Amino acid sequence: MKIFSRLIQAFRKLPGVGPKQAERFALYVARAPEGELIELLDSISDVRSKIRLCPQCFNYTNSDLCEICADENRNHSIICVIESVQDLEAIEKTGFYKGVYHVLGGTFSPNMAVGVESIRLKELSQRVSNGSIKEIIIATNPSAEGETTAAYIKNMLEKKVEKISRIAFGVPLGGDLNYMDELTLTHALEGRRKL
Ligand SMILES: [Zn+2]
């Protein structure tokens, strides 16, 4: 059936969804009660129309500032620099970190094939320029790209910020922050070393 395979193809585009799962989703759509489907479609379009990037840290938000930047109980003099919003979610899950974030939106490769301008470094530099930032915790992934980006940030900010630290990974090079369990990630933050 053409319409059915079209839907399966669409589901296959979702992250982590294989052919079998895509087929199960399509079957669900065919069989689910109408109310459930309307709720699903509604919430998708709601997110899509209301979500935007926080102008300060580039987390997702549906108001001016994201919940973290708007929270007065967070320590706004510590910025944890991460590659993606998924990494932010992973760190938030630990409940250990009380500072704020800066989402780079990627890293750049050691050979500079992907330029420095493609990630939000200029914005980070602007955030620290008023002198109110006491510590920058660099939590890019322990990959070649993550390390290159970390070194670049250190050079860019070392004269502007008192303390620049790198989170201490207990995992081999190439690991990914957002696959770490909460305890490992908490230890990595706790054991961060000054650069
Ligand atoms: Zn924010």
| Mean predicted lDDT score pLDDT of the chain | 90
Say how many Å lie between the CA of residue 53 and the centre of ligand 1. Answer: 8
Percent of the residues in the chain that have a pLDDT greater than 90, as a whole number: 72
b/e burial code for range 60-97 (CB count within 10 A of at least 16 → b): bbeeeebebbeeeebeeebbbbbbbbebbebbeebeeb
Say how many Å lie between the CA of residue 98 and the centre of ligand 1. Answer: 13
φ and ψ of 138, to 5 deg: -90, 115
Looking at residue 178, what DSSP letter applies?
A: G
Say how many Å lie between the CA of residue 112 and the centre of ligand 1. Answer: 28
Say how many Å lie between the CA of residue 122 and the centre of ligand 1. Answer: 16
Q: Minimal CA–CA distance to 139: which of 181, 95, 191?
A: 191
Kindly indicate the confidence band of residue 116, based on its pLDDT and cuts at 50, 70 and 90.
Answer: confident
Domain residue limits, the chain: 2-50, 60-194
Percent of the residues in the chain that have a pLDDT greater than 70, as a whole number: 94
Say how many Å lie between the CA of residue 59 and the centre of ligand 1. Answer: 5
Say how many Å lie between the CA of residue 69 and the centre of ligand 1. Answer: 4
How does pLDDT run across 86-112, given as a tens digit for each residue? 999 999 999 999 999 999 998 887 776
Q: Minimal CA–CA distance to 127: which of 162, 75, 78?
A: 78
Correct CATH for 2-50 of 3.20.20.80, 3.90.380.10, 1.10.760.10, 1.10.8.420? 1.10.8.420
Say how many Å lie between the CA of residue 193 and the centre of ligand 1. Answer: 25
Say how many Å lie between the CA of residue 78 and the centre of ligand 1. Answer: 13
Reading the block at residue 85, the tokens are: 């919003």
Say how many Å lie between the CA of residue 76 and the centre of ligand 1. Answer: 11
Cβ partners under 8 Å of residue 156, min gap 6: 121, 124, 125
Query: Is the separation of the CB atoms in 51 and 62 below 8 Å?
Result: yes
Q: pTM for the full model?
A: 0.81
Give me the CATH topology for the region 60-194.
Dna Topoisomerase Vi A Subunit; Chain: A, domain 2 (3.40.1360)
Kindly indicate the confidence band of residue 118, based on its pLDDT and cuts at 50, 70 and 90.
Answer: confident
